Structure 1
Amino acid sequence: MTSPTTPALVVPEGAERATFAAGCFWGVEHAFRKHFSGKGLHDARVGYIGGDAENPSYRQVCTGTTGHAEATLLIFDPKQLPYAKLVEFFYRMHDPTTRDRQGPDSGPQYRSAIFFHTPEQEAAARDVTARASAQWWDNGVVTEILPAGRWWDAEEYHQLYLHKNPDGYECPSHFVRNFPELK
């Protein structure tokens, strides 16, 4: 579903979807755009995934009772930007060791999760997760790896929120860590 002013999702030929939940979606979307625009990222939008509620609103998701996570949906060119690189960046830009929490934001809607769209994405997500957990996070990663279900776009005012509101709230857990390359 899209709000009346959110443009329909366009997936160019050869592009893929990637969906990540890492706490407040404003900072997650902003970080992915900042690091990958012009480098294979076609689009990013924020919304809700992983729950049972139909057509959830932000207010509903914030109650923590819908099962949905605040998430970011990426449209990317896998020839320019490999999926594994997106997963690695995901583990650099948030704290995947806190269950249902990022910084001061708590509740199941702020969980760390990767929602895969293909078996190949699942395999890459599991591989990168195992290596990042062992090498960077002292084997403490609690990220869920789940099949992508129905996506719901967040309301228009959430889209590009930090671009439109440069001084808006950004979770203090969202910053790129300077980890060594994964082995």
Structure 2
Amino acid sequence: MSVITRYTLRGLAAALTLALLNACSSPAQAADGALPAPRVDDALAATHGEATAVFAGGCFWGVESVFDHVKGVRKAWSGYAGGQASTAHYDAVSDGDTGHAESVKVVYDPAQVTYGQLLQVFFSVATDPTELNRQGPDVGTQYRSAVFYGSDEQKRIATAYIEQLTKAHAFSDPIVTQVVPLQGFYKAEDYHQDYARQHPDQPYILINDAPKVARLKSWFPSMYRAEATVVSVQLH
């Protein structure tokens, strides 16, 4: 969906916004709540440091906003992964034929949060892993759900977690999230960074992204980190 189209959505009347927000459904889970923790995961590191994870789960505004609220995450950036550097800009990616997905790079402290815990948050609240080449109102390969792994260990943990969720029938439909190697991450334009925080009252954010943060707070209270400027939404 183009920026212009998104801005048009944000021009909806407040009453319609609230009605749509109340009607928002969570991903197609068998149970309404947090998914189980990964059985295969790293242990928390003994010393503080930095590690990187890259996820794609639809419009990067919402995915970035979720991870901005996870304890142990030091920084999250919106960007592009899956294609070439030459096409890593919004106008080209929006055409859906560059190979890129709107993605989020997460830099985290492995002494505070594990890669498996980030995956648990990603699959529970940041994306619907059963939607193929779309998320909510956004349609196209650039909105696909993907885990871009940066090491064999990340691949092992992500693959095992998807297998675990599949065997547990955690979702009513098959998981279609890709697990693919990260070839490069390209930071998106500045106006995309921290978008949900800077535009908390826009209908697109209220309808599609704020409920994800609300679910994070409700389902993962020990992992949730509040921010004074974020949208405050009651969970329905």
TM-score scaled to structure 1, two decimals? 0.83
**In the alignment, what sits opposite 2:4?**
none
* Distance in 2 of aligned mates of 1:143 and 1:28: 15
Deviations 1:55-103 (A, max 9, x none): 5211110100111000000000112100000011111012110110101
Q: Which runs of 5+ in 1 are unaligned?
A: 1-12
* Distance in 2 of aligned mates of 1:70 and 1:51: 11
* Distance in 1 of aligned mates of 2:111 and 2:87: 33
Q: Which runs of 5+ in 2 are unaligned?
A: 1-47, 220-236
Q: Does 1:28 align with 2:81?
A: no
Greater Rg, structure 1 or structure 2? 2
Residues 72-151 of structure 1: matches in 2 within 5 Å?
72-93=104-125, 94-135=127-168, 136-138=170-172, 140-151=174-185
How far does residue 40 in structure 1 lie from its aligned partner after superposition?
Answer: 1.0
SS state at 1:54 partner: helix
Q: Larger strand proportion, structure 1 or 2?
A: 1
**In the alignment, what sits opposite 1:3?**
none
Q: What letter corresponds to residue 162 of structure 2 in structure 1?
A: T
Are 2:94 and 2:142, in contact at CA under 8 Å, matched by a contact in 1? yes
Residues matched between the structures, number? 165
TM-score scaled to structure 2, two decimals? 0.65
**In the alignment, what sits opposite 2:95?**
63
* Distance in 2 of aligned mates of 1:167 and 1:58: 23
**In the alignment, what sits opposite 2:82?**
50
Work out the percentage of aligned pairs sharing the same amino acid: 39
How far does residue 49 in structure 1 lie from its aligned partner after superposition?
Answer: 0.3
Q: 1:132 to 1:74 in 2, by over 3 A?
A: same
Q: What letter corresponds to residue 131 of structure 1 in structure 2?
A: Q
Q: Larger helix proportion, structure 1 or 2?
A: 2
* Distance in 1 of aligned mates of 2:111 and 2:159: 20
* Distance in 2 of aligned mates of 1:143 and 1:20: 10
Are 1:55 and 1:152, in contact at CA under 8 Å, matched by a contact in 2? no
